[in-house]
Amino acid sequence: MRHLITVAALLAAFIAPSVASAFHNGEQVIDGFRLPQNHRFESPDAKGKYEVVDINQVPTLIRQGRFVFDRTANTWIAKPGGGMNTTYLAAPGSSGTAAASNQNWQNIHGRVQNVNGSTLTLRADDGRNLTVDMSKVGAEIQKNLQQGEGVTVAAYQISGNNVRAEFIQKDSSAGVQPSASPAQPVDDKNWQRIHGKVSSVNAGRLMLKADDGRDLTVDMKDVNPEVQKALTPGEGVTVAGFYRGDDKNVAARFIQKDSSAK
């Protein structure tokens, strides 16, 4: 019975929490965003250098035009190329830790026709000419909008062709990747589940290109030897284990090849 309990515990740990389940485990609603309390958030500065940011900074940075990456959930909140991850947007009027819904939010992509003070005229991709109130958007974003460039407007207050923007992102920043994130000290007691592609395998050590762009060194000494032998460069795998020292080194407990996933 003790053996069965141990196996069950390991299997439960192998399944990393999704963003959705993380919300149910604890969230904060801050200035229009619902954010998992214990997640690690990062944002690239103007030079592309990533820095860890406090949960309370996330809404402000995004309104300033910065991209924000949820490293724990391995997903963007403010996406390169425009648009918000609506999973993180709170229902209008919600606050504290109340349950939230993003069903009223819309991401509208189009091209800038004109900017007059805090009013943007946008030609949406579907052909509509929209008048966008930018009063809640960061002043630097408003000043830097140029006629003809592509942008994404995130909003929930829409009446006909009138839109009140909460956030605006420029297409010109597309292509930013979280691979430049510097190695950071981490909690080595939390289980991690990391997907990526095998770069190389050598003497119990796996080099992994994670989906978020990081190059990871994976110690496989506790992984089944038959699994280690079967790994080949280029194939997709999921590594379950613990960070050691920083977020670029992982002590693996399990490795599953994509070809064996059901």
Domains assigned to the chain: 14-94 (no CATH), 106-173 (2.40.50.140), 183-260 (2.40.50.140)
Side chain identity at 54, as an amino acid letter?
Answer: D
Q: Per residue, what are the HEC states of 128-190?
A: CEEEEECCCCCHHHHHHCCCCCEEEEEEEEEECCEEEEEEEEEHHHCCCCHHHCCCCCCCCCC
In whole angstroms, give the CA distance from residue 197 to residue 1. Answer: 37
Q: What are phi and psi of 32, to 5 degrees?
A: 95, -5
Higher pLDDT, 122 or 96: 122
Average pLDDT of span 152-163: 88
Half-sphere exposure of 46 (CA within 13 A, CB side): 1
3 SS3 class: helix
> Which tokens hold the place of 44?
């690239």
pLDDT of the residue at 87: 82
In whole angstroms, give the CA distance from residue 97 to residue 127. Answer: 39
Tens digits of per-residue pLDDT, 184-234? 555 667 788 889 999 999 988 999 998 878 889 999 999 998 999 999 999
Tens digits of per-residue pLDDT, 129-139? 999 999 988 78
CA-to-CA dists, residue 155 to 53, 71, 85, angstroms: 24, 25, 12
pLDDT of the residue at 5: 40
Q: Mean pLDDT of all residues in the chain?
A: 79
* Cβ burial 168-195 (10 Å sphere, 16+ → b, else e): bbbbebeebebeebeebebeeeebbbbb
pLDDT of the residue at 92: 64
DSSP string, 81-103: TS-B-GGGBPPTT--BT-----T
261 falls in which pLDDT band (50, 70, 90)? low
